[in-house]
Amino acid sequence: MCGAETTNHSTESNGFGGNLSLIDLDPGNPTVFEPYWRRMGDKCRVVIPGCELMSYKAATKPGKVCWFLLPELEDAIVRLHRLVGNAVVDDRYIVVGTGSTQLYQAALYALSNPASLKPINVVSAAPYYSCYPEETDYLCSRLYKWAGDANEYNANKSGPFIEVVNSPNNPNGSLRESVVKDCGQGKLIHDLAYYWPQFMPINRPADHDLMYFTFSKCTGHAGSRIGWALVKDREVAIKMTKYIELNSIGVSKDSQFRTAKIMELLCNEHKEFGLNSSNNFFEYGNRLMAQRWESLREAIGSSDLFSVPSFERQYCFFLGRPTKPYPAFAWLKCNEETEDCGSLLRRYNILGRNGKRFGADAKYLRISMLSSDDVFEDFLDRLNAIRLFEE
């Protein structure tokens, strides 16, 4: 898994004096929503007879670019965005990918120019999602190359570029816009993985040239490996489709079918029960994330060991009420005396992802807020204990 680097899991000496079980909050594996899906039981069970979904191709509607996108999934994506109000879907081409990870690479391919003598620079404002640099440079492409922090990028000096804008941002939860002063030379990719009501108040439908979402964070079904891009320009959508054709000859129909079924369920439950029901996934998810953030803030309390960003309440048009952002990750900052936040927590066998991986400082550590309940509760207990021992 991107960034799930091997770590030395041995317990160093700590105030507890004994062996502590490992609490791994490094990857953002979204198991937090499992209880909801367990409660839904058979409602989105999928049965696929052996003779179905065998073709590489999908029976796409006329005029569509992405020839492997199941019409059922296309309809479900459009319906879900219209319901949630988080993205403009009219006059957009939809390209499905094996996770948004594949769409990121397809977008880089589509936005770069094979005739150019030099690879185009790819930047994102620090702290940026730690996988962007790795994914950009992994194949040593001559089309594009990672060029670091967008805040430091000078387009006049360094020329054309692609800026990736991740909003709300992984790791620190901030809402973002592009930062490079571009003189018309820049192209933008909007990664909107976390622009869903459980994580962020929906204040307007996103309306960008190339934006993508992922099923992994929308509902927690990361194992299905489904992402989708909403693309304004037909040529860009054609190139992205070509990339996926060459890379994997399309995207699993089984997964697309299951995704469509689950998205339909979200919309149907909303239609039937409205917002005032624990069956409403986004309402449920928002309340769950709110509780987690409240418990985390309580555990950190008035400690001068750690801090996390604070967020303003905003009106969410989907939930019909004000709500704070409840990001999928806590961007934990250690105090001035602690140079490496990761080593401090590792002494207590808690793993997070080091701030340096995000183009930031080792004073920061990214902690997943998406673990299962028992792991999250262990984490809070251990955080409380660390405060007692270290303060």
* Distance (Å, whole) CA 303 – CA 391: 8
Both structure tokens of 301: 């309390």
Measured torsion, CA atoms of residues 41, 43, 46, 47, in degrees rounded to the nearest 10 = 90
Query: Which amino acid, one-letter code, is at 211?
Result: M
Identity of the residue, 138 or 389, whose beta carbon is nearer to ligand PMP in the bound complex: 138
Both structure tokens of 177: 């816009």
User: According to the binding rule CB under 6 A, does residue 371 interact with ligand PMP?
Assistant: no
Identity of the residue, 169 or 280, whose beta carbon is nearer to ligand PMP in the bound complex: 169
User: According to the binding rule CB under 6 A, does residue 170 interact with ligand PMP?
Assistant: yes
Identity of the residue, 172 or 279, whose beta carbon is nearer to ligand PMP in the bound complex: 172
Out of 25, 70, 188, 222, which residue is the one contacting ligand PMP (CB under 6 A)?
222
User: According to the binding rule CB under 6 A, does residue 281 interact with ligand PMP?
Assistant: no
Quickly count: other Cβ atoms within 10 Å of residue 267's Cβ: 16
User: According to the binding rule CB under 6 A, does residue 101 interact with ligand PMP?
Assistant: yes
Q: Is residue 216 a contact partner of residue 190, using CB atoms and an 8 Å limit?
A: no
Q: Which stretch binds ligand PMP (CB under 6 A): 94-102, 174-182, 342-350, 357-365?
A: 94-102
Query: Which amino acid, one-letter code, is at 260?
Result: A
Identity of the residue, 95 or 386, whose beta carbon is nearer to ligand PMP in the bound complex: 95
Out of 14, 121, 136, 166, which residue is the one contacting ligand PMP (CB under 6 A)?
166
At residue 339, what are phi and psi to the nearest 5 degrees?
A: -80, -30
* Distance (Å, whole) CA 121 – CA 160: 7
Distances (CA, A) of 152 to 136, 165, 257: 18, 15, 43
Identity of the residue, 326 or 348, whose beta carbon is nearer to ligand PMP in the bound complex: 326
User: According to the binding rule CB under 6 A, does residue 352 interact with ligand PMP?
Assistant: no
Distances (CA, A) of 325 to 28, 81, 314: 17, 19, 8
Q: Which stretch binds ligand PMP (CB under 6 A): 34-42, 98-106, 299-307, 347-355?
A: 98-106
User: According to the binding rule CB under 6 A, does residue 133 interact with ligand PMP?
Assistant: no
User: According to the binding rule CB under 6 A, does residue 124 interact with ligand PMP?
Assistant: no
**Which residue's Cβ lies closest to ligand PMP?**
99
* In the complex, minimum distance from the CB of residue 132 to ligand PMP, in angstroms, rounded to a whole number: 8
User: According to the binding rule CB under 6 A, does residue 172 interact with ligand PMP?
Assistant: no
* In the complex, minimum distance from the CB of residue 80 to ligand PMP, in angstroms, rounded to a whole number: 16
* In the complex, minimum distance from the CB of residue 247 to ligand PMP, in angstroms, rounded to a whole number: 13
- Bridge pairing between strands 23-24 and 120-124: unpaired
* In the complex, minimum distance from the CB of residue 138 to ligand PMP, in angstroms, rounded to a whole number: 14
Residue 274: partners with Cβ closer than 8 Å, 6 or more residues away: 280
User: According to the binding rule CB under 6 A, does residue 193 interact with ligand PMP?
Assistant: yes
User: According to the binding rule CB under 6 A, does residue 99 interact with ligand PMP?
Assistant: yes
Site size with ligand PMP, rule: CB under 6 A: 13
Q: Is residue 199 a contact partner of residue 170, using CB atoms and an 8 Å limit?
A: no
Residues in the chain, overall count: 391
Out of 32, 84, 95, 100, which residue is the one contacting ligand PMP (CB under 6 A)?
100
User: According to the binding rule CB under 6 A, does residue 236 interact with ligand PMP?
Assistant: no
Both structure tokens of 98: 């094996």
Q: Is residue 315 a contact partner of residue 321, using CB atoms and an 8 Å limit?
A: yes
At residue 363, what are phi and psi to the nearest 5 degrees?
A: -65, -20
* Distance (Å, whole) CA 3 – CA 101: 13
Describe the crossing of helices 99-111 and 234-248 by its angle, rounded to 10 degrees.
Answer: 120
* In the complex, minimum distance from the CB of residue 320 to ligand PMP, in angstroms, rounded to a whole number: 27
Binding mask 17-56 for ligand PMP (x = CB under 6 A): -----------x----------------------------
Q: Is 53 helix (H, G, I), strand (E, B) or coil?
A: coil
Q: Which stretch binds ligand PMP (CB under 6 A): 74-82, 95-103, 203-211, 274-282?
A: 95-103
Q: Which stretch binds ligand PMP (CB under 6 A): 4-12, 67-75, 96-104, 200-208?
A: 96-104
Count of alpha carbons within 13 Å of 363, Cβ hemisphere only? 12
Residues that bind ligand PMP (CB under 6 A): 28, 99-101, 129, 166, 170, 191, 193, 214, 216, 222, 227
